[in-house]
Amino acid sequence: MFNRRLRGQVLQWDALRHTDIQKKGNEGLCGRGASPIISHHYASPAATQNRRSFREIYRISLRLLPLLSPSDMLLIDLIESVYHSSYAAQWRFLIVENRTVPPKTVMEYPLNAPTVYPMKRYEQFADEIATLIREGVLGPGERIPSVRQASRHHGISPSTVFQAYYLLENRGLITARARSGYFVREHARRLLGEPRVTLQPNDPAEVEVSELVFSVLDSLQDDQTVPFGSAFPSPELFPLSRLATSMTRGLRELSPQQVVADMTTGHTDLCRQIALRYMLGGIQLPMEELVITNGAMEALNLALQCVTQPGDLVAVESPAFYASLQVLERLKLRAVEIPVHPREGVDLEVLAERLEALPIKACWFMSHLQNPLGASMSKERKQALYQLLKQHQVPMLEDDVYAELYFGSTPPTPVKAFDDEGLIIHCSSFSKCLAPGYRVGWVAGGRYAEAISRLKLMTTISPSVPAQAAIADYLQHGGYDRHLRKLRHALEAQQGSMLAAADRYFPAQTRITRPAGGYFLWVEFPEKIDSLRLFNMALDHGVSLAPGPIFSATQQFRHCVRLSYGHPWTQSSERGMETLGRLLALF
């Protein structure tokens, strides 16, 4: 009876603070048509009179979970900021019918939900303006609405508008002019064009890039070099001291039994936090599908070994992240290069042709903020990609390490969200968005989860348990989403600074990407430019970059480079771009 009453029903309500519960009746707390059982627990006279805390209400909700059958899904979105601020919290309970979820998935959601800090009104308004700038509705040099106009039109106070405009200034998107108002910064007045990434058709190729990659990486060790060639953002952007506090607390609460037990399966609390973030993103993921790894690279290595044998063909992007090419080289796999559009991602038409013509055993793609191009596939194209893979029953490794670095307020949907047959092996980590040196990643292996787990036991056994405990504690108590918003804003401002510098110093024929997140720009110079020669010349002048050939199994893109804006923009950064411009003029 319980399930029949709830199936398909959406129950939504706003609960102010527990001191205000008396002001809300049954209908205010539960909404029309609410289940009598939920009404009894959440809006009974006893509950309102006793003014139960949200913690108590949350625990009561968890007692309802055993009453649900495996065919139901319970989504609990608890905004815990109510414990830290005076803002209202919204609880949403969504029962979705016709979804098969193993009992363990429902039963093992954590008692402690992650701390989520909702955006304030001025942050929401700032994001709305930033989206208009990003999409070109407000162009470089254009005046944005005055404080008075914005206040009247959007129904918000002038102080809220001022806060939003100050935030946009700090993010480098607008600038104030005396007695004139606020204007969009002229990041790229000449608007350098978009790269024309073309790929010469090639037969499946043996991969031999490691020597070239290592020669490039070895040259990036000098900390006095301007780090445009770096693969990581600046450590200054991460909450390292807060993570240290979390490690201390996590280790203090770690029992001796957990030290050993968590080695094979991964830290239980960390797995729960990751599963909960999948759930809040709309993906129901059984916890037993997760394998905690030493960063995303181990996850991707393990996954590829589980679905291929030496000599097999693997479809990869072109240009592709050089580490993926090194993995293929080490495992003696052959690469089938699929071109990537700078904005739309993998060319699905070419992929379909290659899947028909060649015995491809696996695909390794980045569907969001692809490295090095920064391309992000639309939701529709991701769904089309999955249907293509499903038709040919070809597994895909979804490398999603940049998923949290999107600009704006709408998180991306991974291809994994469309997976109903376990074909998508979703790999990610905290290395690019929270803790680079901790080397904690994971893989949601789908139908290959057990094979991946066993292969891991045969190799590294476990990532660092203390590092897992630290990140688990931080996700639960440290304000992870607040940190991510701050990180995204910093990266967006740094991207604007690099685009503006490229416009000032690079040749007029230069083409450059404008990704909606991440921290890389792909730059296409005139064809007379040799990026390997430019790389060596720039190093002699104290500037690093990543030359195009290291991103291709066949060492194409010789006139292209990847530049990182992952470090705070300084006078040194500006001089580095100016130096590159002078060197380019020598070709």
On whether the CB atoms of residues 294 and 441 are closer than 8 A, the answer is yes
SS3 12: strand
Q: How far is CA 381 from the centre of its chain?
A: 18
Residue 378: predicted pLDDT:
94
In terms of CATH architecture, what is 266-477?
3-Layer(aba) Sandwich (3.40)
- Report the alpha-carbon distance of residue 453 to residue 443 in Å, rounded: 9
pLDDT digits (tens, 9 = 90+) for 187-202: 645 567 889 876 666 7
Is the distance from CB of 54 to CB of 83 less than 8 angstroms? yes
- Retrieve residue 274's tokens: 């990751």
The answer to whether 402 and 368 have CB atoms below 8 angstroms apart is: yes
Residue 513 CA to residue 38 CA, distance in Å, equals 51
Instruction: Note the pLDDT tens digit of each residue in 170-224.
Output: 777 888 887 788 888 766 455 678 898 766 667 787 887 878 888 777 777 778 8
Signed CA dihedral, 285, 286, 287, 291: sign only: negative
Using 50, 70 and 90 to split pLDDT, how confident is the model at 163?
confident
216-236+483-584: CATH class = alpha beta
DSSP string for residues in 28-93? HHH-TT--HHHHHHHH-HHHHHHT--HHHHHHHHHHTGGGS-TT-EEEEEE-GGGGTSSS-EEEEE
- Helix or strand (DSSP H, E) at 129: helix 121-134
Alpha helix stretches (DSSP H) within 506-556 = 531-540
Average pLDDT score, the chain: 79
What class has domain 121-184?
A: mainly alpha
State the pLDDT at residue 94. Answer: 35
Residue 255 has pLDDT above 50, yes or no: yes
Where are the chain's structural domains?
Answer: 2-104, 121-184, 216-236+483-584, 266-477
Indicate whether 32 pLDDT > 70: no
What is the per-residue pLDDT across 93-148, written as a single tens digit (0 to 9) for each? 333 333 333 333 333 334 344 444 567 788 888 888 888 887 778 877 888 888 88
Between 476 and 383, the more confident residue is 383
Least confident segment among 162-166, 303-307, 388-392, 502-506:
162-166
What is the chain's alpha carbon radius of gyration, rounded to the nearest angstrom?
A: 25
How confident is the model over 321-362, as pLDDT tens digits? 999 999 999 999 999 999 999 989 999 999 999 999 999 999
